Chain A
Amino acid sequence: MLDKTSPNNQNNQNIDIKNSASLAMVGISDIDEVRLRERTISLLSACSKISSVECDSSADTRIEFSLSSLRNDSILSEFSREDMLKNAKVCEDGYIKLPFAVIQSSKKETESEGK
């Protein structure tokens, strides 16, 4: 029998797979949603031990490094236009051709800025 007041059960109620899929820009079917919900519940219940961890009692997890360890921002001369276009899905007159949706979206943005 499930304890409906248990923290795990409360978490399960708050799982919103459709919203997460939408945030992740991944389309899912209703069947996928049910399966993923079950899998998330099973993962979270397997991870229930994690709730016993005290965040404050652990040492800081940040890794500190000095700024000097960052590399210089250098322009690579060997990175040619040809190299750049190699991975373009569609090219037109030596430029990357953007998908229709991107062109539409930028048109809308320009129009709204104009207004």
Chain B
Amino acid sequence: MSKLTSLTLTDAADLLKSRKISSVELTDAYLDNIEKNDPDISAYITVCRESASLSALSADNAINCGEFSPLTGIPYALKDNLCTSGIHTTCASKMLKDFIPPYNATVYDTLLKENAVLLGKTNMDEFSMGSSTENSFFGRTKNPIDTSRIPGGSSGGSAAAVAANEALFALGSDTGGSVRQPAALCGVVAMNPTYGAISRYGLIAFASSLDRVGTITKNVKDNAYLLSRLCKKDEKDSTNIGITQDLLLGIDSGVSNMHLAVIEDLLSHASEDVKNAVLSSARTLEKLGATVDMISFSDIELALSAYYIISSAEASSNLARYDGIRYGERFDNSDSLEEYFKASRSNALGDEVKRRIIIGTQLLTGEFREKYYKKALSAKQRIKESFLDIFKKYDAILSPTYPTVAPKADDLSSSSVYENDIMTVPQSVAGIPSLTLPCSLDKNGLPIGIQISGAPFSEQTLYRIGYALESEVYLR
């Protein structure tokens, strides 16, 4: 059984297609792993044991009838902010703890059409606000590599599920680093694709101009394989560009003649171990034929400011719908409507969510709107232009994904949580794609992630670089 759960996505797909293994066997192996390991890790909020077994049976029937799509019969997990008709979708919040969506997110529909097998819905920071998966109404997720440490967040459940062999792949969402950070801290691979590459229809919104659906897998090739299936035009999301491409094409062509750059300013925020790992990876890529320069990017702090202003402001607007009438707990002892809304929101939203909503409201009020919010929107555009200037000269840039290895749960202060976002937020604000993969281990065996970012819709190039690096330093 354990051999089945150590298969990669592409290998499992080949074995399923040739009927050397069945989806029922593969799914059972994952369900057994969940039963055995998840009580210690808490990667899942909901496990769909019965429906997963039925889906696996139906996938096997489809394969026997010659109907095979690349993800048929593959067991996977979804972050609990992606709507699944008939299955609880909670956003890890008391406000939505009983919510069962009447419709599917487009990514889930795509996976249903491919006959992939949903194992369950994964834990997260409430409404994706946080980067440790500690701010969940359902309790915190632990890092499978060392359970005294955080898995990162907000898609910590999705990354932990893949790292602990509790899912063959998982989808998360990334607003300021939410798939990349947990992937780096749990030692798996994640892609935050170009804004507009994957449909966001059915992704419960945190900050709409920054939110993206991201892919988490065990290796780079699997990630390219998966993302190729998810990038397609969806008329239900007006920000979706709909470029379809085979991202596996040329993945093993190497990095000869590629021009890469390391962002020096970001290295200065990283620990010695992380800095050395990134520089060593850069040297490996040089040996493989790429040229690597050190460059400066002075807008990093500006990006962090713009991110916190825009995300808080958009969150305050997006979360206004949670009024206790359509969703959430009822606190039905108020005489006035205003008191009713206040009682429901105050009781059913977590502290971090309430803080961000109040700060976001302040930033949209009176003079603060002009002084901060409007300026943050201009800063966002400036940061995007700065990145595009870099990509006129370079194919991709290299940087750490997280300043340190996974911190101990008790070591995180609220200010360090924000500072830790500095590696991933600039790319989020610019809307550009970023791939993270493990590039080294520290002396305690904890993974260190490297982030490879490129121009909009350069995912194919990023996978090519990631694959070349992974082939040299493969750690799993």
Contact = CB atoms under 8 A, between A and B. Distances in A.
B256 interface: no
Contacts of A25: 320, 323, 338, 341-342, 345
Contact of B368 (A11, A89, A99): A11
Interface in A65-115: 65, 69-71, 79, 83-84, 86-87, 89-90, 98-102, 104-105
A1 interface: no
Most chain-A CB neighbours within 10 Å: which of B99, B304, B335, B342?
B342
A102 B340 contact: yes
Nearest to B340: A101
B242 to A, nearest CB: 10
Nearest to A70: B238
A50 B339 CA distance: 36
A17 B90 CA distance: 28
B380 A61 contact: yes
Contacts of A90: 330
A34 interface: no
Interface in A20-76: 20-21, 23-28, 36, 39-40, 42-44, 46-51, 53-55, 57-61, 63, 65, 69-71
Contacts of B354: 26, 28
Contacts of B332: 99-101
A58 B385 CA distance: 9
B110 interface: no
B259 to A, nearest CB: 26
Range of interface residues on A (Cβ < 8 Å): 35 or more
Contacts of B376: 47, 50
B73 interface: no
Which of B305, B324, B327 is the most central at the interface, judged by chain A CB atoms within 10 Å of its CB?
A: B305
A20 B358 contact: yes
A89 B367 CA distance: 40
Contact of B361 (A20, A65, A104): A20
A49 B325 contact: no
A49 B367 contact: no
A44 B238 CA distance: 33
A53 to B, nearest CB: 5
A21 B309 CA distance: 17
A50 B302 contact: yes
Q: Give chain B's interface secondary structure class.
A: helix
Contacts of B414: 39
A105 B345 CA distance: 18
A61 B377 contact: yes
Contacts of A58: 378-379, 381-382, 385
A23 B324 contact: no
A100 B333 CA distance: 8
B362 interface: yes
Given A27-B342, A47-B305, A99-B332, A53 B379 contact: yes
A16 B324 CA distance: 25
B378 A105 contact: no
Contacts of B301: 49
B330 A89 contact: yes
Contacts of B358: 17, 20-21, 24, 26, 28, 36
Interface in B365-391: 365-368, 371-372, 374-382, 385
B308 to A, nearest CB: 6
A101 B306 contact: no
Interface string B284-312: 00000000000000000110111011000
Given A27-B346, A40-B359, A86 B335 contact: no
Contacts of A105: 336-337
Contact of A49 (B302, B320, B327): B302
Given A24-B357, A28-B346, A99-B330, 20 more contacts: A11-B368, A14-B366, A25-B323, A26-B349, A26-B358, A48-B305, A49-B305, A50-B306, A50-B375, A57-B378, A58-B382, A59-B381, A61-B381, A71-B236, A84-B102, A87-B99, A89-B330, A99-B324, A102-B340, A104-B337
